[in-house]
Amino acid sequence: MTTRSKHPAAPIALLTDFGHRDHYAGVMKGVIAKIAPDAPIIDITHGIPPQSVVAGAIALRESWRFFPRRTVFLAVVDPGVGTVRLPIAIETRAGARFVGPDNGLLALAAEDAGIRRVVVLESERHRMPQASTTFHGRDIFAPAAAYLASGTRMGELGPALARIEPLDLPQAELTDREIRGQVIYVDGYGNLVTNIRRDDLARLPVSFPGKQVSVRIEKRAPVKIFNTYGDAPSGAILATFGSFELLEIAMRNGNAAERLGCSVGAAVIARVAR
C-alpha cells in the first residue's frame, strides 16, 4: 500500500528537451495532475538542445537551489530511452528530489545537493500500465515524481541503487600564463559558456603592474573581460562571468554563437598579456 504524507504536495519542476511544438511536456503534466492534483508544476525549461545530456545537466545544476526545499525535479533528456540505462529517483541532504534517467543528467545537481540515497523506479504500482519503451517521461518519470510530491516514500518506488552514472565535464588546464578551456554550453542568447571558472582566472599571475588577461576563442582575435554585457560597445564581442560563475563569450546586443560560428567544444584560452 502506498504511504502518503498529510503535508501539502511539494512543487514539481520540469526540465526537458521536448520543446513546445509537440504534446510531450503537456501530457507529462496531465499525468502528474491525475496523481497529484495539488502539486504546483513549474517549468524550468523545455528548450534543452535535443539529446544534449550535458546541457540539461548544467541547466539543472544551475537551477535546483532556487526552489523550495522539498521540490521534486523531473528531468528528461533521454537519448537512451528504452535501453539498459536505469530510471531512478534521488533523495538529497539538501531536501531536493530528482527523478529521471540514470545517464548523467541528474548527476551534477544531485552531487551539488548531496546524495542521500538512490532508488531504481521498478514499482509497478507507481508507473503507468504497460509503460512505453520510448516515452518514459510520461509512463515512468512523471508518475514517480507525482507520487513523491504527494508524499509517497522514496523506498516504495523501487530498490536501492549504490551509485549513479557520473557526468565528467572537461576541466580547464592551467599553466603559468594561461588557462585552456572549451565551450560547454550555449544559451538561448548565443552566449558561449566555458568551463573556465572565476577561481581559475584568479590563479593567473596578473598582480604584476601592467598585466591584463585577454580571452581568445578558437583562432579569433582576443577580447577583453568586462564586468557585464552592458560595459562593452554595442555589437562588440566580449568575455564576462555570467550567472553560472563561468567565463563566457558574448556579443553585446547580439548572438555570439552565430557571429563567431562557434558551439560546444570550441577551444577557449584566457591568457596573461605580455
Architecture of domain 173-272: Beta Barrel (2.40)
Residue 265's SS3 state is coil
Lowest pLDDT segment from 64-73, 154-163, 169-178, 190-199: 169-178
Averaged pLDDT of the chain: 92
Is domain 12-157 in CATH 2.60.40.3080, yes or no?
Answer: no
C-alpha–C-alpha distance, residues 107 and 160, integer Å: 16
> Are the beta carbons of 90 and 98 closer than 8 angstroms?
yes
Residue 25's SS3 state is helix
Query: What percent of the chain clears pLDDT 90, i.e. is strictly above it?
Result: 80
C-alpha–C-alpha distance, residues 15 and 207, integer Å: 42
The residue-averaged pLDDT of 36-53 equals 96
Lowest pLDDT segment from 130-134, 226-230, 253-257: 130-134
pLDDT of residue 1: 46
The residue-averaged pLDDT of 199-207 equals 75
pLDDT digits (tens, 9 = 90+) for 47-92: 999 999 999 999 999 999 999 999 999 999 999 888 889 999 999 9
CA torsion, points 63, 67, 70, 71, in degrees to nearest 10?
A: -60
pLDDT at 211 over 70: no
> Are the beta carbons of 273 and 212 closer than 8 angstroms?
yes
Distances (CA, A) of 245 to 50, 62, 156, 199, 201: 25, 10, 38, 9, 11
The residue-averaged pLDDT of 182-186 equals 95
C-alpha–C-alpha distance, residues 176 and 121, integer Å: 48
Lowest pLDDT segment from 2-11, 18-27, 105-114, 188-197: 2-11
How is the chain split into domains, by residue range? 12-157, 173-272
Top mean pLDDT of 103-112, 193-202, 204-213 is at 103-112
Domain 12-157 shares a fold with domain 173-272: no
Lowest pLDDT segment from 89-98, 139-148, 192-201, 255-264: 192-201
Q: What would the grid cell of residue 211 be?
A: 598585466
The residue-averaged pLDDT of 147-172 equals 96
pLDDT of residue 207: 52
